[in-house]
Structure 1
Amino acid sequence: MVSDFKPAREGAENLKTLLEQELPGICIYRTDSDLIAAPDVPQLTGDDAIIAQQWMAQVLQPFLDKHRKNRPCWLNLTGGTKATSLALSSGYAWAGIDYKPAGKNYLSSYQINLKQAPGAEVFTSLGEKPLPPVTPQQVACIYNKSFEEKSPNPFRKHPYSTQLAEDIFMGLDRQDEGLLDLFNALTRIWSDERDKKISSLVKIQPDLALERFFPQYGCLASRNMVTVPGKFCTEGVFCLRR
């Protein structure tokens, strides 16, 4: 199901191409195509639950009733806006609903009963289905019309590169102050003030000393300094130089 949001349509086209490559013989109907969309009915919008509800009743439901041929219809509710999800989940007698939780590699399946009395359980769990891993190339295909594979990242040749990347990710996840201090400094150097000719020093407080964050790599030491415009380094602080 594709809304009238332009980036969504572009992403849908990339996804359709990828699915046809990975699953030969699959039949995909886009709801914004001439085969489904009705000219006198508003297009699916993600911002208005009423319009989405009307679209569901006048466009998608007749299409499904015509083509389902007594086969079960399932709704994958991953992504989209809350207004669209509300209209789609309640607008058809789905055999089940799938949803992929963020950061999890499985689908959660549910059965929905909208005729339940107030306060009763509307959703019943149907279990979880593991998903196959997704390759970086497949992700690139979803967000780009095409991509080019080049030689492996030279950073991977460093013996500690993978562990360092994991530690940086974990540090950012827990909002490590020393690491954030470093990234803010690098942002000023490489982005915010990269065209300025006058440079001074950025200070990093001793209790945020970054060499304690990466002691095993030896990549940060108090002798190294990063020059950053606009701030001066004072005694008793660790500095990094570009």
Structure 2
Amino acid sequence: MSGVLIGIGVGPGDPQLITVKGRDALLGADAVFVPVSVTSTPDEPGYAERVVLAHVPHATPITRLEFELDEAAREASWRTAALAVAEVVAAGRTAAFATIGDPNVYSTFTYLAAEVRALVPDVEVQTVPGITAMQDLASRSGTVLVEHEEALTLLPMTAGLEVVRDVLRGGNTLVLYKGGRQLPEIHAALAAAGASDRAVFGARLGLADQDVRDHLPSEPAPYLSTIIVTPERKPTS
């Protein structure tokens, strides 16, 4: 009988923002895997690994899985990573994959789990939800995400400016993830829509060098950046 693969959301970066259930799942796993970008500095822990190291004893094996951001090589990196995880679950053991934010929101875990299922069809896949970057940024910036009948749209910054403009015209809350290189174009779109004064920005949330601003930078930002744009609201008495 095959084992279990658990995708664990460890929050945006602050080790204190992992849930008790997430921490317990990490401690109970036979092997813990963490994602790193192929462009990362060697021996420098990534966002998820920093959280794991704060909670998991060093005796527990922690394995880095390299993932490509480049679209042409992305699927091959998923398959390579899945081979390492499949070895654990095929032996009937529990493998934990730590991912920043939530494992069901724009997470590498989704693709990893699909590849592991292809290799070990009877693997049991579970997830533990995590606090997302938009929740963390809202808290740090004092921003109310939604109220009354407002809707919230979550998009990657790479979705395209026309999609962003459509959401802004709709008068609801817009959250943008990932793709900080697009920030100058996003900045211009918000300015054109008259929404610049309703935007907050965050990058490297929970780390010592976090960057939280009550305005949107006009220069490119780190890939893992978050923008919240709230609708125009009537002042409350």
- Name the TM-score class by shorter chain: 0.3 to 0.5
Higher strand share: 2
Structure number with greater CO (CA < 8 Å, separation at least 6) is 2
Q: Which has the larger radius of gyration?
A: 1
